[in-house]
Amino acid sequence: MGKSVMLWAYLLAAHRRTEENHARSAQRPGGMLVWLHAGQGASLASLGQLARRLAREDKGLSVLVTAESAVPSLDGFPKRAQADILPPDRQAAVRSFLDHWAPDVLVLAGSDLPPTLIVQAYERGVPLLLVDAAVSARLTPGAWLRKGMTASLLGRFARLLVQDPDSAGGLRGRGAPVGRIEVAGRIEETTEPLACNEAEREALAELLQARPVWFASACPEAEEEAVIAAHAHAMRLAHRMLLIVSPASLSRGPALAERVAREGWVVARRSADEEPDPDVHVYIADTEGEMGLWYRLAPVTFMGGTLLPGGAGRNPFEAAALGSAIVHGSHLTPYPDAYGRLAEARATRSAATPDALAAVIAELMAPDRAALLAHNAWAVSSGGSEVTDRVSHAILETLAKRRSNTGEAA
């Protein structure tokens, strides 16, 4: 790697400045520790998915998660994850942090390059990876001035995984070692395909045969009326249609069944060990842990909790990963980014009102229209999963080399 006068001056200034050390309540866990830092442009939700993939591949692995301005939330991270705040980029603070946590691999996600941290970690023999990096190919005047310093920092990384070819060109233009640059794609949040009992799926699929089916997922009580009305409208076009509805609160199952029965429809409940026989119009899916089964059986899913304000809803990638076309309302909290990605890929249909929901459900009973949405959604979901796999493999390969060099057993 090249030397940089600017980097030398920066490190000298960082050495002279003093910072109050941050007290750390958590102890370093035993075994190998991967440090994931969410820098500028990185998503904690996406890093959570990456951490879950790492934990699944190596069950003895621990993860440390940091962000710049605050201790990050560990929602979506595996149980063995711990959180801390990134130390200020000063010699004493960074030294204290590295002494305490002693990471085996440092993964910087995004576009930040904290010089003191990078240099000290490298000098300690900690392998560095830059992942999910989006770098402009255009060099601003400031970037030109810092080019030597940036090149020296990038030369300390074992692998540089960028989002796209333009970012690869941006790193080359900043002096990064060409042989270490990899176009891995953007790490984006998806979900692992929910499991189901395959014997149950086969039995129910045979029972349903060629019936048109749609699923209302995690439907809150406030949206039940709209869902029932949409089903009534769609049944005028397909009288054999079946609605599977999972109440947001599973204890609501019996009351929902009574309400549907008052409409004059035949209803059955999963929790009562009843089946969606050919004469059943509405099947209440009021059991725990079977969402993967219903997404697989229904070509179309309405994501409950999105039609009216106040609903919690579920992650739309659950349906996307299992080939069900997605319909949603206009209230997308807490998954606006996921819905935005799917909408950009033309993988969902929006229904802002109960009347619009009825029209969209009826339209998507045409198999070709539902199949196109489902294909687009699956492509987004599987693409995000492939990138996560690629990055996790790079981290695990680096960790394996670290184990080999230190002689620690896997």
CB contact at 8 A, 325 and 300:
yes
Q: Which whole-number Å values give the CA distances from 237 to 12, 205, 327, 363, in the listed order?
A: 75, 22, 19, 10
The DSSP symbol for 310 reads: T
User: Could you list the mean pLDDT of each consecutive 10-residue stretch along the chain, which spans 410 residues?
Assistant: 66 63 78 94 89 92 92 91 92 93 96 92 96 87 78 95 94 94 87 90 94 97 96 92 97 97 95 96 97 97 95 90 95 90 93 96 93 91 84 95 70
- What does the pLDDT read at residue 410? 45
The DSSP symbol for 68 reads: S
pLDDT digits (tens, 9 = 90+) for 217-262: 999 999 999 999 999 999 998 889 999 999 999 999 999 999 999 9
- What does the pLDDT read at residue 312? 81
- Domain ranges in the chain are 5-187, 198-382
Between 3.30.70.120, 3.40.50.11720, 3.40.50.300, 3.40.630.30, what CATH number should domain 5-187 receive? 3.40.50.11720
Tell me how far apart the alpha carbons of residues 106 and 137 are, in angstroms, rounded to a whole number: 25
CB contact at 8 A, 62 and 34:
yes
Q: What is the largest CA-CA distance in the chain?
A: 81
Q: Tell me whether domains 5-187 and 198-382 share a fold.
A: yes
> Where do the DSSP E strands lie in 101-202?
105-109, 128-133, 159-162, 181-183
CB contact at 8 A, 214 and 243:
yes
Q: Kindly state the helix (H) or strand (E) to which residue 65 belongs, with its residue range.
A: strand 62-67
Tell me how far apart the alpha carbons of residues 29 and 83 are, in angstroms, rounded to a whole number: 12
Between 3.40.50.1100, 3.40.50.2000, 3.30.200.20, 3.40.225.10, what CATH number should domain 198-382 receive? 3.40.50.2000
Identify the three-state secondary structure at position 182.
strand
CA-wise closest residue to 229 among 369, 353, 363: 353
> DSSP secondary structure string, 225-280?
HHHHHHHHHHHTT-TT-EEEEEESSGGGHHHHHHHHHHTT--EEEGGGT----TT-
